[in-house]
Structure 1
Amino acid sequence: MNMRLLVTFVFLGICMFTFDSYALNNNVPHDPALKKITISDPGQKLVLQLDYSVGCKITQLKVKGKNVLSESGVYTGFRTRGGSFTSCSGQDGIKVEESGNKILIKNIIYGDHSISVNESWSFDLNGDKIIWNINRKYSNLAKLEEMAFPQWNFADLAVWKGGILDNGGMVWCKYLREVNDTYGVHTGGVTFWNPDTGNALRIKAKSDGRQLAAKYSQSDKKEFVCTHFVTDEELEPRYNLNRFVHQRSDVFVPFNVQKGDVNMTLEMEYVDYAVAYSRGNLPGIDAEAVRELMNTTGRYGVVDNTIVGANGWTTNWKCLHEPFFAQIGMALNDGNYVKNMSATLDSERDYAITADGRVLSRWHNADEDQMPGTFNYKTGYYEARWGYTIDSQTGHVINTAEQFDLCGDIEWLKSHKAGCEKALDWLIRRDSNGNGIFEMMNNSIKEERASDWLDIVWASFENAFVNAQMYEALNLWAGCERVLGDKAKADYYTAVAQKLKDNFNKSIHDGGFWSPEKKQYVYWRDKDGSVHGDNLVTPVNFAVIAFGLCDDKRRIAQVLEQIEKRTVAENLFHWPLCFDSFKREEVSAGNWPFPTYENGDIFPTWGYLGVRAYVGYDKHIALKYIRNILAQYKKDGLSSQRYSRKTQEGQGSDILAGICTSVTALYRDIYGIRPKWNRMGLEPNLSEILNGTEFNYTLRDTDYRIRLSVDDYEMQTDRFSVKSRDAFGASFREGGLVVYPHNEEKTVLKVFGESSSPVGVTLKQCSGNDISWEMNTADNYRFIIEGLNPALKYKLAIQGKTTPVEVGEDGKASFTYPCKGTVRVRLYGK
């Protein structure tokens, strides 16, 4: 594909064509008289106008025919204490060279006697991408206050809704409210998008082994500005650990540059936003709302590299006592987020776990929220002043286990073995009375201290919410220990979880948390034995059911029927934190009178627990609240901390990215997206209204096409297709298809073909010692079935013919069969 370098010469008073219309119809590579160059991709979806008549800058950037830049354009530059210098300054000697499909602009010189630069810019095409390379030569060693490498000045904050960052996060233009409000991050790649036009501009940035950063701000001209940095060392925040600062453009500290060359490559590409970020065909669901909610609120919790949280970047906060960050990554389906989440958990392992195993509860930019003496001014981790929030122990472990299923990296998991064991063992040791229920660090409401996420409710001693999360953490981590081959540890944590379950479900009169009188699980018990929180606290009761701590169908119905009846009676769009008031002495003054804040307001953050609890009881109710959340997003963007119980309007200056979790539950618990470390899994719970759901899902660089209807599920890649009416998992490795009925590893079917043609399998059933499937593709196949019972005698039935099959002591059987059409296979033992 030849590069289009389009330039026009305007004859004043003669030609009535504008520069743009003339340029697009004249294939003139360069006109030195005007000193203007126009560069476009082959489809002219991205068109740059470059002017080097007075300095050098990009004066227009047309995206699908519309210029998105302000008059300031795009330029390079730097600032020292002595002044600001840019490529726009008047200068002689700029030279332009043309060589084949490449334009090279040389001798862009600016600066002063203390430090100057000599830049060369080159532009080339790679398919539909425009490649801009900037080579900068510094004349001396110097300390810079600012850098533009380059600076992009967009017309205003309405050009783009925001930018999706290549660390999984996003910049949200509407939160750059004031002049010089600035968000700085340690990554350079970004995709700016406008959902109304469907246009997006992707900029990939890379340098030669140096550090990249970018900042996003509103200028004094009301422009939306993106500024790139290339430095030898990682830039440090200027104001405490702030990534976002109000009314200050200098978010980073001054930095040194060395004498010599620095390179920056910017790959620009037009992106059809609706196609690139499509959520697929989602009958019964507002797919556009899903896309926009996840690309805004869902990504907003990424503060920076290694800081993935849920409060987000405008307040510079993240809570380690939230167990759903990896789950958000599952629903976002963005490899950049997954990578950053792994790095975040590495950071927590290295800096947030104390020697004895305590997981510090929060990260913040400053010490204003710290428990005295706990804030680490280098890392930002600390204990919150409200009390020891013990669910940071469980949150870290749950996120690590679920992250492993996304990244599939066993070596990464090994690196977290000691840390997660320390975190669990720290809490296990907090069982002073040996009843299997783990205790908080506060003993009574009289201490006026918190012990979990509801940080101004004085839950103490034996906390049901924390213990429910502990049950989930123990079971998830036991599964990780089995993968790592540590059976003893796996069995130990499983046994601890079972003891917790047995005692947790006892009546409150016998030391458990079940209230037979109120038919609900209470919140906590003080050390003196007094019971608190029998006011139908939703995250407590949802967690008990969602995590499988309660599997008593009668109890589940009693709890969920109460909650649904009362939610409908108040016509609430989502579940409140509690239905009745805490007692005055159980909460801080800010929670009074009821309903106020954590004493009765609506916090959709815990929506995923509600969906997961309801989906096994009544999936139609679960789906209703997902759709309610999406409808609310269309009303207000769901960028609030909470919603008033009285008005159901957004409240709070903080934004909780966890508000998206009802939609993450759509993917996990309705569509059944259940990635495992060694396969892709499907465990759907569909209602008829969702029949015909289709979407793409990428797991560890494999693209899956998912098709879902009630009792009819299909997963397809370029290597295989698997269909089933029940849950299953599948992967392609070592040259063959591996199928996991029920998405479990009890019985495993492996299919190897002689050719490289895709393999098609319909799984018919797998129960007990009976598995059957249908081959839908032709080839000479070798079949291996694992997980069989060696003590049984198995028979193989193919196309009505039955023969005995030998099963080894390892529980494996194998055979070959030439499939020339649809072939039904059954293996069963007696």
Structure 2
Amino acid sequence: MAQSKINNDANARKVVFGNEKLILTLDYNKRANVSQVIVNGQQVIQGDAGIYSMIRTKATRYATLTLSSDPSLTIAGNTIILKGISYGDQNLSIEETWTFTISANDIRFDIDRTTSKTVVAEDLGSPVFRFEAINTWEGAYQDYGGLAWFYLFNRKRDTYGVRSNTSEFWNSKTGNGLTVSVSAPGKQIAMDYSRAVDDKLVYTVGVSSTGMQPRFDADTKRRMYVRDTTDVWAPVEVQSGQSSQSMTLSYFDFNEKFGRGKLVGINQEQVSAVLNTIARIGVIGKKHFGGNSWHTPYGPICLHEQYIAQMGLGINDDNYLTGYQECLDYYRDNAIKPDGRVWPRWAYSNEDAMPKGYTDKGFYEAQWGYLLDSNPDFVINVAELYDQNGDLSWVRKHQQSSEKALDWIVNRDSNGNGLVEMMTDSYSQKRGSDWIDIIWAAYENAFVNAKLYRALVLWADVERQLGNSVKEKQYKTFSEKLKANFNKPTSSGGFWDAEKQCYVHWRDKDGSIHGTNMVTPVNFMAIAYGICDDQTRIKTILEIIEGQMQKENLFFWPISLYSYAPGEGNDWQFPFPNYENGDIFLSWGSVAVKAYASYKPEIALKYVKRVLTQYEKDGLAFQRYGRANQDGRGDDILSGNCLSVVGLYQAIYGINPLYNRFYLDPHITPDLAGTQIKYNYRNQQLTIDLDVNRYALSNGKFKIVSNTDFGFYNTGNELSYFKGNADKASLQLKASPKNELTLDIKKCDPNEVVFIQSSRVGGSGVLVYQVNSLKPSSYYTILQNNRTLKRIKSTQEGTLVFEYKAGDVPNEITVMLK
């Protein structure tokens, strides 16, 4: 760093310093504070406070904004040291030394502190940042993938607390980002964000020995978001003596770090905005991920939601995946009863719980009934997160708990028909049993059984990978029976209503059928999860739903097309449409998009675009939308409002990270052709090019092009191509470290494999190809541009290996049974 980047005005007792992206002004005139911060040319802090240290006891507030004497400044090279920062009174004296170390990429801010005696702090700022305004930044990401979204700080003194070591502040409009990373070995770090009475954004870092705990509620001490007070944290003891901490401030380009490429035919800014905000607000705190936001009054987490891991696919941030991994570990250890029952909810308070139906950590049975979908949903989330992180050792640690959760609910099939039963036998008992919690679904519930099918299919494959063939077979067998009986007509014990042309919601123990009103989550899950593979049924269901959507001109699919029958739900659900009896809940967007994507992707895309338009209007900051006026309702904000956009990524763009490969299965409409997506996959930056019936995937070294779905995996100098959704590679190659290679796959079957190879030669240029899934012990001819190179016999496993000299000219390689 050049010396000219540090300019000290000794008369004014101010020093301006920084690098090309960060400029700070340090004021040391009988005070110690950073009074100005400029990030990439944008002033984000300016004023008498800025950045400073603070401690507040019940009696007094102390801060470095007023000192009894001037501190002393020393400048040495690229380091600024401010000593003698003494503040306090006769009851408590504090002395600090601030050290700023400037480098080309960041500024390190060290605070060394001596406190005269142990004191209980009501509030602790080490330090406090007062940004220009509440909208200086749109939000701040935490190190576990959560988000403080300042759009939701709609009242003065709104405050949100987090346990995080890092805040990434960002603004999509300016493109500027500021990372504040805190380190204090041996200490606990907490942070909070407040909207001040003057509408500034106040960001406070707290460092303590014992860890800061929530102050509210009186009986639970779990509330992370509070109104009308900045005291989100309970009083904490600050010990006497010396302590040290370090902060690193660094700039990042928001678009470069979180940009999504070039999204053709759709509003790219809105797609990014939904995935950058709404998708993350269900992360209430470290170890607490769900679908309801931290802003919700009682802060519930529904463990009976199967899409929390799936959101990570769209969020596409390793911090979210790592954070959710830690969260699922916490749920495994604290949210599963000894018999395998998964507690379905967690909340700030116990107001939504059954009497005495909760734990000291906040998990509970909901007052509305035993919501049994929490058991399969826990397993689905573990399996789908494993697909994204590929961490076999981690998923192995969830094997026993996932088996317990699955076995608990599978054992609820008392009559052996493959359909598990709820805790109630009849709707007349007025208890819910699934996500639609105040509709009285009982006995054999199609909603829960559809989720169970998904869990069984996913977990059977995990058991295969973990080497437990007994459990694999058990879950496969049960899933097959479940599917067969699910698809039977209601007259034969199944869920298909031939008259209403839909899958019903449930049947009571007496055989009576309920929920014949085209409950969309039930029918969408049946299609999306592969329970229904009857193309005639699929077409019928989807066309009926689309017909009603056009008739009402709805911007999104309602929870049911028609009304439940009187008595099938809580009284205030009637008359139709009202709340869970016919209103619009966006949380079922991903299964809806998946259901339509293979049938008519243009219909799925239409509703994705309508959700994006709605985001532009209101930020999707609601629980649901009314059916009649399509107006936002409910302050119980759901992060699931993002799921149609997640569905865009998964089912239309075809992005499906799987445990051993990146699977690309697009359903592109002509208006999306030319889309190029940037995607992070296990520390690789992928570029995905999508045209109609032609797809390409590259990581900068290897590129695969195909006109059908395929899997891609690269480690080191080895590339694997997977045909379709096969979990075994069809074609593998080893290249030299300097080779860059493109494979354009033209054909891949046991009789013939054809691809065009394009290379940028480096090193030896020798490529070693391995072709799998061929006919065993058979002779194949290797051709280059129709010229025979060699003849090779495949192994008993149907594999052959050959070497090929790479060249700069594209060559067509054929492996032909001959």
Structure 1 length-normalised TM? 0.94
Secondary structure class of the residue paired with 2:203: strand
Contact 2:750/2:774 (<8 A) preserved = no
Matches within 5 A, 1:404-803: 404-733=386-715, 735-777=717-759, 778=761, 779-790=765-776, 792-802=778-788, 803=790
Corresponding residue for 1:344? 327
Contact 2:777/2:793 (<8 A) preserved = no
Corresponding residue for 1:16? none
Instruction: Give the aligned residue type for 1:301.
Output: G
Instruction: Give the aligned residue type for 2:353.
Output: Q
Instruction: Give the aligned residue type for 2:133.
Output: D
Corresponding residue for 2:247? 266
Corresponding residue for 2:2? 2
Distance 1:74 1:533, change over 3 A: same
Corresponding residue for 1:380? 362
Q: Deviations over 1:508-546 (max 9, x none)?
A: 100001111111111100011000011111111000001
The equivalent position to 2:312 in structure 1, one of 326, 329, 353, is 329
Query: Cα offset for 1:587?
Result: 0.5
Instruction: Give the aligned residue type for 1:809.
Output: Q
Instruction: Give the aligned residue type for 2:17.
Output: I
| 1:38 paired to 2:25 | no
Q: What is the CA–CA distance in structure 1 between the aligned matches of 2:392 and 2:42, rounded to whole Å? A: 48
Q: What is the CA–CA distance in structure 2 between the aligned matches of 1:688 and 1:232, rounded to whole Å? A: 59
Contact 1:3/1:125 (<8 A) preserved = no
Instruction: Give the aligned residue type for 1:178.
Output: R
Secondary structure class of the residue paired with 1:783: strand
Instruction: Give the aligned residue type for 2:439.
Output: V
Instruction: Give the aligned residue type for 1:499.
Output: K
Query: Cα offset for 1:167?
Result: 1.9
Query: Cα offset for 1:219?
Result: 2.2
Distance 1:166 1:640, change over 3 A: same
Aligned residues: 805
Q: Deviations over 1:303-348 (max 9, x none)?
A: 0001111101012221001111111111111111111110111111
Distance 1:807 1:350, change over 3 A: same
Secondary structure class of the residue paired with 2:8: coil
Q: What is the CA–CA distance in structure 2 between the aligned matches of 1:582 and 1:753, rounded to whole Å? A: 61
Between the two proteins, what is the percent identity of the paired residues? 39
Q: What is the CA–CA distance in structure 1 between the aligned matches of 2:802 and 2:42, rounded to whole Å? A: 63
Corresponding residue for 2:101? 124
The equivalent position to 1:97 in structure 2, one of 74, 78, 90, is 74
Matches within 5 A, 1:84-163: 84-163=61-140
Secondary structure class of the residue paired with 1:311: coil
Q: What is the CA–CA distance in structure 2 between the aligned matches of 1:634 and 1:119, rounded to whole Å? A: 47
Secondary structure class of the residue paired with 1:371: strand
Distance 1:371 1:3, change over 3 A: farther
Q: Deviations over 1:756-812 (max 9, x none)?
A: 322322222223543322221142111112333426554433332455422223343
Q: What is the CA–CA distance in structure 2 between the aligned matches of 1:670 and 1:733, rounded to whole Å? A: 27
The equivalent position to 2:796 in structure 1, one of 809, 819, 824, is 809
Q: What is the CA–CA distance in structure 2 between the aligned matches of 1:482 and 1:506, rounded to whole Å? A: 29
Q: Deviations over 1:463-489 (max 9, x none)?
A: 111111111111111111122122222
Instruction: Give the aligned residue type for 2:183.
Output: K
Q: What is the CA–CA distance in structure 1 between the aligned matches of 2:72 and 2:609, rounded to whole Å? A: 59
Secondary structure class of the residue paired with 1:367: coil
Which is worse superposed, 797-806 or 126-135? 797-806
Distance 1:260 1:706, change over 3 A: farther
Contact 1:164/1:295 (<8 A) preserved = no
The equivalent position to 2:144 in structure 1, one of 157, 164, 167, is 167
Distance 1:768 1:458, change over 3 A: farther
Q: What is the CA–CA distance in structure 2 between the aligned matches of 1:770 and 1:530, rounded to whole Å? A: 55
Secondary structure class of the residue paired with 2:620: coil
| 1:58 paired to 2:34 | yes
Corresponding residue for 2:50? 73
Instruction: Give the aligned residue type for 1:783.
Output: Y
Which is worse superposed, 142-151 or 108-117? 108-117
Q: What is the CA–CA distance in structure 2 between the aligned matches of 1:270 and 1:58, rounded to whole Å? A: 17
Q: What is the CA–CA distance in structure 2 between the aligned matches of 1:768 and 1:523, rounded to whole Å? A: 44
Q: What is the CA–CA distance in structure 2 between the aligned matches of 1:203 and 1:154, rounded to whole Å? A: 13
Instruction: Give the aligned residue type for 1:256.
Output: E
Q: What is the CA–CA distance in structure 2 between the aligned matches of 1:245 and 1:521, rounded to whole Å? A: 43
Contact 1:737/1:759 (<8 A) preserved = no
Secondary structure class of the residue paired with 2:657: coil
Please list every run of 5 or more consecutive structure 2 residues that lacks an aligned counterpart in the other structure. Answer: none
The equivalent position to 1:238 in structure 2, one of 193, 215, 232, is 215
Which is worse superposed, 101-110 or 248-257? 248-257
Structure 2 length-normalised TM? 0.95
Instruction: Give the aligned residue type for 1:166.
Output: D
Distance 1:817 1:141, change over 3 A: same
Question: What do you get for the CA RMSD once the two structures are aligned?
Answer: 1.8
Distance 1:262 1:726, change over 3 A: farther
Q: What is the CA–CA distance in structure 1 between the aligned matches of 2:606 and 2:224, rounded to whole Å? A: 37
Q: What is the CA–CA distance in structure 2 between the aligned matches of 1:571 and 1:676, rounded to whole Å? A: 37
Contact 1:184/1:216 (<8 A) preserved = yes
Q: What is the CA–CA distance in structure 2 between the aligned matches of 1:732 and 1:260, rounded to whole Å? A: 52
Query: Cα offset for 1:177?
Result: 2.8
Secondary structure class of the residue paired with 1:536: coil
Corresponding residue for 1:366? 349
Query: Cα offset for 1:190?
Result: 1.7
Contact 2:420/2:444 (<8 A) preserved = yes
Distance 1:437 1:769, change over 3 A: farther
Instruction: Give the aligned residue type for 2:54.
Output: G
Q: Deviations over 1:684-739 (max 9, x none)?
A: 11111111111211112111111111122111113311111111122222531122
Q: Deviations over 1:588-633 (max 9, x none)?
A: 0221111000101000110111100001111111111111111111
Instruction: Give the aligned residue type for 1:144.
Output: A
Q: Deviations over 1:91-137 (max 9, x none)?
A: 22511111111111111122234443221112222223222222222
Corresponding residue for 1:302? 283
Matches within 5 A, 1:137-286: 137-239=114-216, 240-286=221-267
Secondary structure class of the residue paired with 2:340: coil
